[in-house]
Amino acid sequence: MKLQDLDIIVTAPPAPGWGGRYWILVKLTTDTGITGWGECYAATVGPRAMRAVIEDVFARHMQGETPENIELMFRRAYSSGFTQRPDLTVMGAFAGLEIACWDILGKARERPVWALLGGRMNDRIRAYTYLYPLPQHEMPAFWTSPEMAAESALDCIERGYTAVKFDPAGPYTLRGGHMPAMSDIQMSVDFCRAIREAVGTRADLLFGTHGQFTTAGAIRLGQAIEPYSPLWYEEPTPPDCMAEMAKVAGAVRIPVATGERLCTKAEFAPVLRQGAATILQPALGRAGGIWECKKIAAMAEVYNAQMAPHLYAGPVEWAANVHFAASIPNLLMAETIETPFHDALIKGKIRVEEGFITPPETPGLGIEVDEALARAHPYEDTDLHLQMQEAPCDYVNGNCFAGGAPPKAE
């Protein structure tokens, strides 16, 4: 059985774009006719350029190879061009293709992917979700309203979730770490207070940031929200200096989580060595694929750290996350996004029920991709999957992070 053909579909979820502006799905077919699906989460270049990268990685390192040789194909891609170091774009392309290889292998052996990864450690996977607006909520008012956030949190609890994430501390600026405005600190405190009062001890609070603060700024903010006992403080400083994040971890009494922007074990190892975080959040469609993330999980186990696979993409990467999560002993929880489009794209084959996910028993990833639906929603814009703002933090008028990734206004 050899890898023979590649097809790439760039699909755009409907507005408001929960999960990003587009998802890059890859479909591999073997010479025996077995197909496998994967999803690439690299987004440093536009989808047209990324398509060319994926095609090159497949043709150069994978086409004609047996899908069993995942380690060999990884080393080819990782070493490509005399590099042997993390390359976010190349490894992101490989990661999606690698996920498709596992889907093929599971189907060929008539076993779910988790069964090929050492078996099932977790019969149920604890899920968490961002707080999204309810039908009665208006945007963008939702993003600066602790009261609306509390209502959304209660809705999640009623649906069985035991952990909810929110990130009111923006903005995400390409200028690097900044000192948060006092109004942003107060907004964060107000969100934590309102949500904690609403949910009590029925759910954990997951405080999200996206690397936007200086070390000192992250410490100030983290100490301000400590009284509400969040389960984690996510990526408080930029991901390019783990020594600085470690200073935050040592100064704030909230577990630090990080990893959605990191690539391969080479970038996760310093997180553990330097004590920068105790919760790792790899994006499987970016970090190198399922097998590479199994290695990252094994490293984390030695450091008594837990895994919480990241998701801000489509349901194919989510399916990969589920099989990965099912197979590891140091799982904390897995991120989920529940929208009708996510569900329809994999024909409802994996779902969150009462706040937990049951790993599928069907072969491969256990999903059925609706190709017609994916192709009926092509991405035709030029913006990246997610984009950071150029404007600096506004210390006068306040800051508002609007969630999602909506298409441009007509």
What are the φ/ψ torsions at residue 208 (nearest 5 degrees)?
Answer: -95, 135
Classify the C-alpha dihedral 324-282-165-251 as positive or negative.
Answer: positive
* The pLDDT of residue 388: 86
| 343 in Cβ contact with 146 (< 8 Å) | no
Classify the C-alpha dihedral 189-192-194-196 as positive or negative.
Answer: negative
* The pLDDT of residue 387: 86
Which is more confidently placed, 356 or 44? 356
Cβ neighbour number for residue 231 with a 10 Å cutoff:
21
pLDDT at 406 over 60: no
Tokens 């704030």 label which residue? Answer: 252
Task: Tell me the sheet residues that pair with 208.
Answer: 234
* The pLDDT of residue 407: 53
Helices (H), 113-241: 146-158, 182-199, 215-225
* Per-residue pLDDT tens digits for 213-271: 999 999 999 999 999 999 999 999 999 999 999 999 999 999 999 999 999 999 999 99
- Which pLDDT band holds residue 401 (cuts at 50, 70, 90)? confident
Angstrom distances, CA of residue 291 to CA of 294, 312, 399 = 5, 20, 40
Tokens of 291: 């097998």
Residue 268: name the closest of 227, 303, 219 by CA: 303
* Per-residue pLDDT tens digits for 37-66: 999 997 799 999 999 999 999 999 999 999
* The pLDDT of residue 405: 62
* The pLDDT of residue 244: 98
pLDDT at 285 over 50: yes
Across residues 15-28, what is the average pLDDT? 94
pLDDT at 157 over 90: yes
Three-state secondary-structure class, residue 194? helix
Helices (H), 110-210: 146-158, 182-199
- Which pLDDT band holds residue 72 (cuts at 50, 70, 90)? very high
Residue 209: name the closest of 200, 218, 201 by CA: 218
| 393 in Cβ contact with 181 (< 8 Å) | yes
Q: Which amino acid is at 332?
A: L
pLDDT at 410 over 50: no
DSSP code for 231: S
Tokens of 264: 């391969």
Across residues 153-171, what is the average pLDDT? 96
Across residues 136-163, what is the average pLDDT? 96
Gap between the Cα atoms of 137 and 331, Å rounded: 33
Across all residues in the chain, what is the average pLDDT? 96
Stated pTM of the model = 0.97
pLDDT at 404 over 90: no
Helices (H), 226-379: 242-251, 264-273, 284-287, 290-302, 315-326, 340-345, 371-375
Percent of the chain with pLDDT over 70: 98
Tokens 């999980």 label which residue? Answer: 297
* The pLDDT of residue 214: 97
* The pLDDT of residue 408: 58
Gap between the Cα atoms of 25 and 7, Å rounded: 8
- Return the H-helix or E-strand segment holding 165: strand 163-166
Gap between the Cα atoms of 46 and 126, Å rounded: 33
